[in-house]
Amino acid sequence: MSTRLSKGDQAPGFNLPGQDGEPVSLGDFLGRRALVYFYPKADTPGCTAQACGLRDAMPRLEGTAVVGISPDPPKRQAAFDAKYGLGFPLLADVDHAVAEAYGVWVERSMYGRKYMGIERSAFLVGPDGRLEETWYKVSPAATVANLLSALGQV
């Protein structure tokens, strides 16, 4: 079982391929805030609602970067981005190592079948690389609401 992170912890670093195949690292966002969110699978109803909600909220995010991470390969991430015009990095964590570091690779259950997968979660990383907020098991709609609240945009 992965360890859960807490407010004030150093955010685990990452260097993952984005939807265009180019690597993106957490260090690319040092000096500004970044919302790093994990979602189970690109182009599914909940993940689409979450991503489109973040896309639509971008003008209100005060320069906060948004980065989505799932186990999907870059090609699937690219199709998801193109279909919905998301405009922010979608990263491929195909071996789920980053998800494990953030404590979101967990045992799940569907129709009585147990399997390992992503627990939808979001993390607000401060300009210094420390976690300002953590939201485990967050709903798609709550992702945007929580972020706006943390940014004082309520």
Residue ranges in the chain assigned as alpha helix (H): 45-57, 74-84, 97-101, 140-150
98, 105 contact by CB (below 8 A): no
Extended strands (E) in the chain: 15-17, 23-25, 34-38, 65-70, 90-92, 105-110, 113-118, 121-125, 131-135
The answer to whether residue 52 is catalytic is no
Of 24, 26, 47, 131, the active-site residue reads 47
Return the SS3 of 13.
coil
The dihedrals phi and psi of 24, each to the nearest 5 degrees, come to -130, 135
Which of the residues are catalytic?
A: 47
